[in-house]
Amino acid sequence: DPKIIQKPKYLVAVTGSEKILICEQYLGHNAMYWYRQSAKKPLEFMFSYSYQKLMDNQTASSRFQPQSSKKNHLDLQITALKPDDSATYFCASSHHRGANSDYTFGSGTRLLVI
Amino acid sequence: SQWGEENLQALSIQEGEDVTMNCSYKTYTTVVHWYRQDSGRGPALIILIRSNEREKRSGRLRATLDTSSQSSSLSITAAQCEDTAVYFCATDAKAGNYKYVFGAGTRLKVIA
């Protein structure tokens, strides 16, 4: 059974629209993260949450808004979508926020903005 | 070797060969994580090596960490076709930082 569930797996959106990427983890972890992976680029850190509180935001654009309705949920709302937003978005979690924790990644949501 | 904005590297080897992938980092780190990513899937942690460890083994995998040269390596012994994947290193950007910085990765292909 997948420990981190990301939905949907694939998403096609029209420029200017808004989408929400879903992430749920069933590992009992206290920290959750969002990463983005664009073609031929390294994984890029976006956000970290700890106990449902935003701890760090590395995303310059306010169009990206994480939402945590429950401790094991961290959704990502993206507004006014642009073609440059096309990427695979990975959710991850760890027991505690910090470098010494083991990270577990979801399988990603592949977003294509046309 | 891989780091930051470097392009994804590619390696192709024969089954049974040994391979080493390198990673260098720019600032002090307390830990280096090595991940593998299979096509269409998220990264999976395979080895975590801390700054007080010089070497860590897990099955056919061996990671080293040299804090003086700010580099780490991942070796696979007797590579098998199922080792085909992209391998990344990741470190915290500065001491105690939780913001991981990932290397560009090495795309390893093991040919039968």
One DSSP character per residue, chain A reads: --SEEEE-SEEEE-TT--EEEEEEE-S--SEEEEEEE-TTS--EEEEEEETTEEEEE--S-TTEEEE-SSTTB-EEEE-S--GGG-EEEEEEEESSSSTTSPEEE---EEEEE-
Over 50: is that where the pLDDT of A93 sits?
A: yes
Contact residues, A window 68-87, toward B, CB-based 8 Å cutoff: none
Partner residues linked to A90 by β-bridges: A35
Q: Which residue has the higher pLDDT, B3 or B76?
A: B76
Determine whether the interchain pair A105/B43 forms a contact, defined as Cβ–Cβ distance below 8 Å. yes
Mean pLDDT over residues B69-96, rounded? 88
Flag whether residue A36 sits within 8 Å of chain B, measured between CB atoms. no
∠ CA B85-B22-A3, nearest 5°, is: 40
DSSP SS3 for B87? strand
pLDDT of residue B2: 44
Flag whether residue B28 sits within 8 Å of chain A, measured between CB atoms. no
Mean pLDDT over residues B9-19, rounded? 95
B-chain residues within 8 Å CB-CB of A109? none
pLDDT of residue B13: 96
pLDDT of residue B1: 47
Pairing mode of beta strands A109-113, B100-102: unpaired
Over 80: is that where the pLDDT of A27 sits?
A: yes
Over 50: is that where the pLDDT of B5 sits?
A: no
Flag whether residue B60 sits within 8 Å of chain A, measured between CB atoms. no
Over 90: is that where the pLDDT of A21 sits?
A: yes
Over 80: is that where the pLDDT of B91 sits?
A: yes
Sequence-distant (6+) residues with CB within 8 A of B96 are A98, A99, B30
Mean pLDDT of chain A: 92
Share of chain B above pLDDT 90, in %: 59
Flag whether residue A8 sits within 8 Å of chain B, measured between CB atoms. no
pLDDT of residue B99: 67
C-alpha radius of gyration, chain A, whole number: 13
Determine whether the interchain pair A42/B99 forms a contact, defined as Cβ–Cβ distance below 8 Å. no
pLDDT of residue B93: 64
CB pairs under 8 A between A and B: 64
Mean pLDDT over residues B5-32, rounded? 84
